[in-house]
Amino acid sequence: MDIRLDGKVALVTGGSRGIGQAIAATYAACGARVVITSRKIEGLEKSAEEIRGQVPGAEVLPFAAHAADPQAAHDAVRFAVDTFGTLDILVNNAATNPHFGNVVEVDVPRFDKTVEVNLRGPLTWTQEAWRQAMGPDTAYPGGCVINLSSVSGLQFNDPLGVYGMTKAALIHQTKHLALELAPAVRVNAIAPGLVKTEFARSLWEGAAPDTKYPWALERLGQPQDIANAALFLASDLASWITGEVLVVDGGAMIKGGI
């Protein structure tokens, strides 16, 4: 069974590289028209060009927008709606982790930045999608929202405490919004384990390519693993799923965590 997103419009935050780029490319390959956002237009343009190289004819447009800026969220959603006529899928993927260490040692600027991007950001973008494209007062109500959480939001992870706190709160936010926006909009989360991205480089750099990791499936995750989950949740196959957290971690949690 092929999963298709023909006629759908998606917006992916943090779409210039890694998991966000993989999700955007996968959606485009399955027929969706996609807007990708990130802070810097140069990285977005490169990402869009790479996706078009992978998917001939892909409709992928970059829009520079800081994930923590409410006005940028408004403008990006407006751009998607004005350009493609609607917005069916919002993927809140952008994240940050400026503090790597004990929670008790975090300073206010780093704490605030983590909360603003990882928690307030997804709420703001969801609010804009609801008001401009998915809510009952819009031209084509309905759609789905996918929040990228983390296994760090489900378990204790020593050096990622502040990051994990925001990801745990994002899961709670996902469930609240799933209830509030039902039945028109489905809201789910994905909790990735350790994935080979630039964002997580400090956690996997230096390991040999044939390293067997201490979890059930033994290998490091790839961005495409998460993109496949995001494709399923965005598709009609997940039409009776909302308020859930899909863990994609290679079996790390059942082996005691990362």
Cα angle for residues 59, 125, 88 (degrees, 5° grid): 45
Instruction: Give the integer Cα–Cα distance in Å for 56 and 52.
Output: 5
CA-nearest of 252, 136, 243 to 204 is 252
Q: Who contacts 165 (Cβ-Cβ below 8 Å, separation ≥6)?
A: 103, 153
Q: How many Å apart are CA 24 and CA 63, to the nearest integer? A: 13
In whole angstroms, give the CA distance from residue 42 to residue 178: 34
The question of whether 163 is a catalytic residue gets the answer yes
Q: At a CB cut-off of 8 Å and minimum separation 6, what does 36 contact?
A: 11, 12, 15, 16, 20, 21, 24, 44, 47, 48, 60, 61, 62, 63
Q: Which amino acid is at 176?
A: H
| CA dist list (Å): 85 to 11, 29, 41, 127, 134 | 13, 20, 23, 18, 12
Which residue out of 27, 140, 163, 213 is catalytically annotated? Answer: 163
Region for 87 from its dihedrals, namely left if φ exceeds 0, alpha if ψ lies in -120 to 50, beta otherwise = beta
What is the DSSP code (8-state) at residue 207?
Answer: -
Which active-site residues does the annotation give? 163
